[in-house]
């Protein structure tokens, strides 16, 4: 399994939103690439109560993890747990929702949390086009991510900001 180190530059190609698999919240995710054009994805926000793991995952590693399931059985988020290193128990399910939104996976009829692989060529073609564009990203303005902000740091920054505002009034 390859995870890009935090010091490597990931160029964000696309930012998008989708419903979680339970449809109780809206997720925001980013798709990016390294200079070698390898595609990575991460969940960045959840409108609900569940925390998200902000680590970038290589799409190739996700596909490999999903192929380790029992043959002939539906794909489930349980297969993605090893990729998230025990951080957020919600992240594998959130990733499945993003993969469905990108049409990498499709829902199986009659299976609430069962999925199947879809033809990867459409996704690959869309990503190749975005990688080649070298310009603006799809769904957002272009950016390069060097280090993922941690939720605790954002909360601490917000709390510090509130303290400064309340003491100055």
DSSP, residue by residue, 3-64: ---TTS-EEEEEEEEEE-TTSSSEEEEEEEE-TT--EEEEEEEESSS-------EEHHHHHH
Kindly report, residue by residue over 21-44, the tens digit of the pLDDT: 889 999 999 999 999 999 999 999
Kindly report, residue by residue over 82-105, the tens digit of the pLDDT: 998 766 688 999 999 999 999 999
Return the higher-pLDDT residue of 159 and 43: 43
For a pLDDT cut of 70, what percent of the chain falls above it?
Answer: 72
- Which residue, chain included where needed, has tokens 């069962």? 114
Whole-number pLDDT of residue 86: 63
C-alpha span between 93 and 126 (Å, rounded): 23
C-alpha span between 114 and 66 (Å, rounded): 12
Kindly report, residue by residue over 122-153, the tens digit of the pLDDT: 999 999 999 998 765 555 433 434 344 444 55
pTM more than 0.85: no
Domain spans in the chain, listed from the N-terminal domain onward: 10-168
- Which residue, chain included where needed, has tokens 């769904």? 139
């Amino acid at each position: 399994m390859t995870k890009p180190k935090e010091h490597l530059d990931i160029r964000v190609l696309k930012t998008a939103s989708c419903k979680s698999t339970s449809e109780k919240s809206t997720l925001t995710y980013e798709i990016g690439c390294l200079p070698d054009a390898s595609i990575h994805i991460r969940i960045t926000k959840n409108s609900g109560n569940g925390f998200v793991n902000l680590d970038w995952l290589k799409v190739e590693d996700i596909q490999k993890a999903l192929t380790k399931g029992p043959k002939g059985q539906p794909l489930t988020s349980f297969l993605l747990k090893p990729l998230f290193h025990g951080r957020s128990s919600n992240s594998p399910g959130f990733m499945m929702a993003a993969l469905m939104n990108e049409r990498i996976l499709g829902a199986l009829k009659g299976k609430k949390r069962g999925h199947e692989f879809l033809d990867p060529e459409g996704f690959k073609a869309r990503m190749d086009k975005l990688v080649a564009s070298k310009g603006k990203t799809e769904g957002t303005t272009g950016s390069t991510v060097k280090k993922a902000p941690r939720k605790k740091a954002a909360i601490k920054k917000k709390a510090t900001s509130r303290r400064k505002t309340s003491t100055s009034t």
